[in-house]
Structure 1
Amino acid sequence: MANHKSALKRHRQSLKRRARNRISKTRIKNTVKAVRIAIEENDAAKAQEALKDASSILDRAARKKIIHQRQAQRRISRLQAAVNKIAA
């Protein structure tokens, strides 16, 4: 454990940020899972709605640097391709 006042503060900040990031990453996983479940059920309307939510959450996480911008774009792109495939 740190002894200096500034190091103690950095540790407190890192714990807060870790908790915030874990919440966001869990939310990402759950929304992506909802899209995949809708795709497996061949429900195009439900998949499109879930994709809209997932892309919003992924973009927000990328904007806040929780995940990398390119990773968010790649995930959205792959989900969109899968949704388009069942819609066709």
Structure 2
Amino acid sequence: MLGMAALFVTVAQMASACIAPEKPYLPARPEDVRAYADLLRADFEGYIADIQDYFRCLDAERQRAFREAQEVSRDYGRLVEILE
């Protein structure tokens, strides 16, 4: 049962590891864009920086998951050998 608890903790950690940033809002009216240009520019620049961090996180998670899958595959091979 302890193994299942560890599995749930790991899954919960993975689910929250890479969080996509919110897409910045762009007003429809050009007047509003001009009125809030500094705030909008900052939101877009923040998004660009955050999405790059998000992509790096996804890349790292993919590498981690690949290594884990290889380990599980080896463990499964051992399990099959033991049970034969």
Q: TM-score, normalised by structure 1?
A: 0.44
Q: Which has the higher contact order (CA 8 A, sep 6+)?
A: 2
* Structure possessing the higher radius of gyration over alpha carbons: 2
